A and B are shown apart, each in its own frame.
Chain A
Amino acid sequence: MRRADRTRLPALGPSPAFRFAPVHKDALLNGLALRSVEHRSLPVVTFMLMLPAGSAADFEGYEGLAAITADMVDEGTGNLTAIDVNFEFARIGAHLETDVTADATVLTVTSLTRYAGRALTLLADCVVRPRLESDDFERVRQLRLTRLVQIRDLPSAIADRAFMQVVYGTHPYAHMSLGTEESLRQLSLRHVQQFHGSFYRPSRATLIAAGDLTAGEFREMASGAFSQWLAGPLRSGEDGVQTPPPSIPVHRLVLVDKPGAAQSEIRIGGVGLARSTPDYHALIVLNMVLGGQFVSRINMTLRQEKGLTYGARTSFDFRRGRGPFLMQTSVQISGTADAVTTSLSEVRAIRDGRPPTSDEVDVAKAALTRGYPRNFETAEQTARAIAQLVLYDLPDDYFDKFMANVDRVSVERAREVAAAHLDPDRLAAVIVSDSAIVTPQLRAAGFGEATPLLPRL
């Protein structure tokens, strides 16, 4: 090859075609749905059990219930103690990971193929037959209360909590999965047993396998491990996450005082959209322009031009109900008011004044599509992708069509969704910082008085 031409950037080759590996669908007699994708390049399998009930399903007044229930499943099963269970996972080089989001509880185990049967049996023992004993419950609850105590000094966690409380009011999305000190103290083992009895049921669950396993092998393993799981009563009733969140935040500018803070932690945002919105692809393109990548408007302004922060980003958190739209950053205290003003004016500008240009939209679309296949590299990534399909009821060919659907987003569409969904007058700004320093700054910048807030912890 000849020496590289430095007078211009090399041209890009054609974008690779991409197809998501075929998902095999099956079910056990008790209703447990099975989904699997086989890829055999390495002797590794990831199992994922997805239950479509997360912290938004917490009983009112008992916030933290879904998360503590998930935490309890590996605290002993059959004749194994909590320590034994974890040792049995460790003995095969695995561990159980639990993840409780607003919408779902997800339990994940990755193991070498030769231990796959053992890993799945242990997972089933935890999910189907947890001991749920009161001594373990008290210990786990105490650890969670301790975690809450520690969070008081974690500015990013304080900011996240204050933001969700201000924006979501009494909506089930207003609280974090950990809950609050008050709600954790209200909880008893009986609630955990009740939550487990209601939501840990095969008729609602999906078991996913990705990796070095055929669909047939998976079915055989799964029916061995999970066939004793009883279907249980079907829960009916309203889906709390579909209740409309407040249309305007309770407060618009909130200050959580942290005397002596070294930085200002900032959250700006409001209620966004549900995962089912027809504007999904247009909104992720818009977000790339606004704050979804390094070269986005907000990061380039706050970090690269002003040097106020190590980084700033925006995101739409699409959930079963309407999740938040959020800008987050941590800035030097002297630049707090500047950062808030700049961020709000960037949001204002993108819908009115400086709408996305066709160059920006092209860059955003390219960034989303050209590297897309790398999202499906590991067994766990593949399993997580399948869990998304199930949780949000997406079509089977969703991943295959993703690139084309993004490519179809026009500049006009990006502008439309900006105008429709980004309203600066419906956003709240939350600042966690030293009030004595920041208050005069905010006043000088023309903001009204910030509402002092102590988020519920």
Chain B
Amino acid sequence: MNIPFTEHSLDNGLRVIIHEDRRLPVVAVNLWFHVGSKDEQPGRTGFAHLFEHLMFEGSQHYDKGYFHPLQEAGALLNGSTNTDRTNYWEVVPTSAFDLALWMESDRMGYLLPALTERKFETQRDVVLNERRQNYENRPYGLAQAAIGAAIFPPSHPYHWMTIGEVADLKAAAFDDVREFFRTYYHPANASLVVAGDIDTADALARVHAHFDEIPPGQVPARVRPFAAAPTERRLMLEDRVELPRLYLAWLSPAMFAEGDAAMDLLADLMGNGKSSRLYRTLVYERRIASELMAVQGSREIASIWQIIATAAPGHSLDELQAAIDDELARLVAEGPTADEMERSHAQVEAQFVYRLQTLGGFGGKADQLNAYSVFCGDPGYFEKDLARFQVVTALDLQRAAASLRTDNRVLLSVVPKGKPSLALPHSTPAPVS
């Protein structure tokens, strides 16, 4: 099981990965730039994502908006920014393959001549709306911001949210666009996947025809991981919510690093679905929680492993914390059962196969190839990726659980406005806006 591909490099440094899949008359074009919010500076946050919006506002040779010709051609398209990368994709009928390449290459090569201050101002407003809609006006919407800010010190590039601080967004200057584009948006900092109903040689020729003319740039300096040394912190956030929720968060191994896969499986075992340990104890048996999940949030230079539990009415966050700590201690002492290991490995295999069903879009095969290309330097990492989960043993999970100590975590209580006493004792207000 894998995703067969060929890999090429243009003279300007653009990495090109081609994958044939003729099941449907559809082609996926997927372009990653290796830049995210971790490349920003304190005081200038949110710029990488705001810039992503500008990429949809037209380029020199087609300045009437990016969506119009592509939607008319039957395309689905989108883009996204996270801490580590910005991705753009189109899923087009085979008949519009050239159009997708033309549009992507035009904005990679010729964005700036079409960019105006008015576009910039409008998209700044759109992003401020996006921030209010998805974070400020959403229950528990600022919890992840509080956790990132607590786990990572102010100088660490994961300290701030990708969406950015409101003050920074308002202060962002149109003049900064040019420098940002020059630094990060060029072939040497990008990886292009074309996948689907194509012939490799023909597709490569079309990629050459559209991307060869774009001048190379300098590979930007990469943000280096640096150690954050967390100590226990207890924080509190008052929010427009009805039920208190507890977040327990730890710094954990970076994506693809030693220990990352074990943390992922540990999250699955503890908090994924009704067959997980914490669901069974807290929701099913003791009924002290109403919602429960655990997740390893893998990112390029460091990760956060967390458990999120919402109190059932009439129950306190102290009860949740004690019950969760007991379950973690039990796992450290006894390790997982053989049944649980079987469940974990079955889930992994199934998820890897299910993901192969989708060609394009977020998380489809084209996006996966680019993730492996950008983060591992090897688009062919699929089997190695699967293998790193398959070799995880019960002992590895026991050790992973042991790394989740009580003195190296952040405990965040999100409580209804005006009810700070519902937080864990000794919690201090989290500084988020």
Contact = CB atoms under 8 A, between A and B. Distances in A.
Interface of A: 1-4, 6-7, 9-16, 18, 39, 41-44, 74, 82-83, 86-87, 89-95, 110-112, 139, 142-143, 146-147, 149-150, 152-155, 258, 260-263, 265, 293-295, 303-305, 307-310, 330-332, 362-363, 366-367, 369-374, 376-379
20 contacts: A6-B110, A9-B69, A14-B95, A39-B23, A42-B353, A42-B356, A44-B353, A86-B274, A90-B275, A92-B350, A153-B242, A295-B65, A295-B71, A307-B125, A310-B130, A310-B134, A330-B137, A363-B68, A370-B74, A378-B358
A397 B172 CA distance: 54
B313 interface: yes
Nearest to B95: A13
Most chain A CB neighbours (cut-off 10 Å) among B73, B75, B313, B349: B73
B241 interface: yes
A309 B136 CA distance: 14
Interface residues of B, number: 86
Contact of A83 (B93, B280, B287, B354): B280
Interface of B: 23-26, 60-62, 65, 67-69, 71-76, 91-99, 101-102, 105-106, 110, 121-130, 132-134, 136-139, 205-206, 208-210, 212-213, 240-243, 273-275, 280, 283-284, 287, 290, 310, 312-313, 339, 342-343, 346-351, 353-354, 356-360
A227 B390 CA distance: 38
B122 to A, nearest CB: 4
Contacts of A4: 101-102, 105, 209-210, 213
B137 A262 contact: yes
Pick the 5 closest A-B CB pairs, nearest first. Answer: A370-B74, A93-B350, A307-B125, A371-B74, A13-B95
A374 B91 contact: yes
B240 A332 contact: no
B71 A367 contact: yes
Given A9-B102, A92-B350, 9 more contacts: A91-B339, A262-B137, A263-B136, A293-B67, A310-B127, A310-B130, A332-B128, A366-B73, A371-B75
Contact of A82 (B25, B132, B274): B274
A363 B68 CA distance: 9
Contacts of B136: 262-263
A310 B26 CA distance: 29
B347 A9 contact: no
Nearest to A146: B290
A308 B353 contact: no
B353 A331 contact: no
A95 B350 CA distance: 11
A373 B99 contact: no
Contacts, number: 216
B-side interface mostly: helix
Nearest to B239: A153
Nearest to A88: B275
Contacts of B350: 92-94, 111-112
A83 B275 contact: yes
B129 A309 contact: yes
Contact of B359 (A16, A146, A376, A377): A377
A379 B121 CA distance: 43
A369 B25 CA distance: 13
Contacts of B287: 139, 142
Contact of A363 (B71, B93, B212): B71
B67 A294 contact: yes
Contacts of B353: 42-44, 112
B182 to A, nearest CB: 21
Contacts of A370: 72-74, 93, 95-96
Contacts of B91: 371, 374
A3 B76 CA distance: 26
Contacts of A74: 274
Contacts of B356: 42
A3 B212 CA distance: 8
A310 B105 CA distance: 26
A42 B97 CA distance: 25
Given A15-B95, A294-B67, A371-B74, A263 B133 contact: yes
B270 to A, nearest CB: 13
A90 B74 contact: no
Contacts of B132: 262-263, 330, 332
Given A150-B241, A263-B137, A363 B72 contact: yes
B133 A3 contact: no
B192 to A, nearest CB: 14
Contacts of B273: 86, 90, 95
Contacts of A95: 273
Contacts of B206: 1
B358 A377 contact: yes
A21 B126 CA distance: 42
A377 B139 contact: no
Nearest to A380: B357
A371 B92 contact: yes
B386 to A, nearest CB: 13
Given A153-B241, A310-B133, A2 B209 contact: yes
Most chain A CB neighbours (cut-off 10 Å) among B23, B62, B132, B359: B132
B156 to A, nearest CB: 27
A143 B291 CA distance: 9
A307 B126 contact: yes
A54 B390 CA distance: 41
A93 B351 CA distance: 7
B174 to A, nearest CB: 15
A139 B289 CA distance: 11
Contact of B121 (A43, A307, A330, A363): A307
Contacts of B65: 295, 304
Contacts of B275: 83, 86-87, 89-90
Given A4-B209, A16-B25, A371-B76, A304 B312 contact: no
A438 B63 CA distance: 36
A11 B102 CA distance: 11
A91 B341 CA distance: 9
A317 B98 CA distance: 35
B98 A332 contact: no
